[in-house]
Amino acid sequence: MELLPDTATEMRVREMWRMMAAAGLPSLAEHRHPTNRPHLTLATCEELHPPARSELATLLDGGLPAPFRLDGLLRFDGRTRVLAWRVAEDVELLELHRRVWEVLASTAAHLNPLHAPGRWIPHVTLARSRRTSARWPDHLLPTALCEPREAAFTGARSYDSTTRTVESLGGEARPPAG
């Protein structure tokens, strides 16, 4: 389950991807699949059953647009290294996340525990790399990443990682912008 930002924010994130790539840094600008677009993952599961899909569509459509703020950078280490723009937590976003988790927990198996309420770290991914040498030195990053940005989530979708397809679940889940 993913939330999609407003058009101006999507374009801004894509601009950051391009600027990072131009600086020779790993960036999602390199990921050319048509479903690749800026998003906030709320939860992942193996299968989304029709009753849950319907309930989530109602919940997400009713919760959008949802204002949010991009504020600061996060770095995740592990098998895949990640650089992300932090999405500031607020009460409304945490409540929407909790409700999505509850719907999925009642119908789906194998939810990713990293997305569980209390463990979830909201972010918009800027870059991913499986190279252990991947680094994003602050002095090479676009300065705009250090400036807070007010935005809104205006759409929601599910992404099927097996078929690499998406399905709108509410709001304005328009096709990706180039």
pLDDT tens-digit map of 23-82: 999 999 988 777 789 999 999 988 888 888 889 989 988 889 999 999 999 999 888 899
- Amino acid 173: pLDDT: 57
- Amino acid 175: pLDDT: 52
Cα–Cα distance, 152 to 106 (Å, whole number): 28
- Amino acid 141: pLDDT: 95
Q: Provide the angle, in degrees to the nearest 10, between the axes of the packed helices 50-62 and 91-107.
A: 170
Cα–Cα distance, 131 to 135 (Å, whole number): 9
The second-level CATH assignment, the architecture, of 2-168 is: Alpha-Beta Complex (3.90)
Average pLDDT of the residues in 81-104: 94
User: Helix, strand, coil: what percent of the chain each, to 5?
Assistant: 35, 30, 40
Is 90 exceeded by the pLDDT of residue 102? yes
DSSP bridge partners of 6: none
Cα–Cα distance, 23 to 71 (Å, whole number): 22
Query: Other CB atoms closer than 10 Å to residue 43's CB: what's the count?
Result: 21
* Of 175 and 120, more confident: 120
